[in-house]
């Protein structure tokens, strides 16, 4: 699965690793809903770190379609709120 972190690049993650991101995504969604900036910052950093650690960074000139798009590390809570769907950032 190809996951894009906006402003950073694309990562190729094994499908088995994606399901493990759902807990981090749930934590992020809860922080956004609560309006808790400190918890939000920690949850977003954790999610992005997990993607970077589990995935392989694709070359900048790669033309792969992204299966998921995540906000940049410096995104605001309001920006992430706009990106959330009923299933968070990561469906499943």
Residues 6+ apart with CB under 8 A from 4: 10, 11, 66, 68, 69, 70
Is 89 part of a structural domain of the chain? no
Is 92 part of a structural domain of the chain? no
Q: Structure tokens of 57?
A: 């960074």
Q: What is the mean pLDDT of the chain?
A: 91
Q: In the predicted model, what is the mean pLDDT of residues 9-34?
A: 91
pLDDT the model gives residue 61 = 87
Is 91 part of a structural domain of the chain? no
- Number of domains making up the chain: 1
- Whose CA is closest to 84, among 65, 73, 69, 66? 69
Tell me which of 20 and 3 has the higher pLDDT: 3
Q: In the predicted model, what is the mean pLDDT of residues 20-27?
A: 90
Is 53 part of a structural domain of the chain? yes
Distance CA 52, CA 50 (A): 5
Confidence of residue 15 (pLDDT cuts 50, 70, 90): confident
CB 84 within 8 A of CB 27: no
Q: Domain range for residue 34?
A: 2-83
pTM given for the model: 0.90
């Amino acid at each position: 699965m190809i996951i894009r972190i906006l402003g950073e690049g694309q990562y190729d993650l094994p499908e088995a690793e994606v399901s493990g991101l759902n807990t981090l995504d749930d934590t992020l969604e809860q922080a956004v809903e609560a309006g808790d900036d400190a918890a939000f910052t920690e949850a977003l950093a954790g999610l992005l770190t997990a993607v970077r650690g589990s995935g392989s960074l694709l070359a900048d000139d790669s033309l792969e379609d992204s299966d998921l798009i995540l906000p940049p590390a410096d995104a605001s809570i309001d920006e992430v709120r706009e990106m959330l769907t009923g299933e968070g950032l990561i469906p499943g």
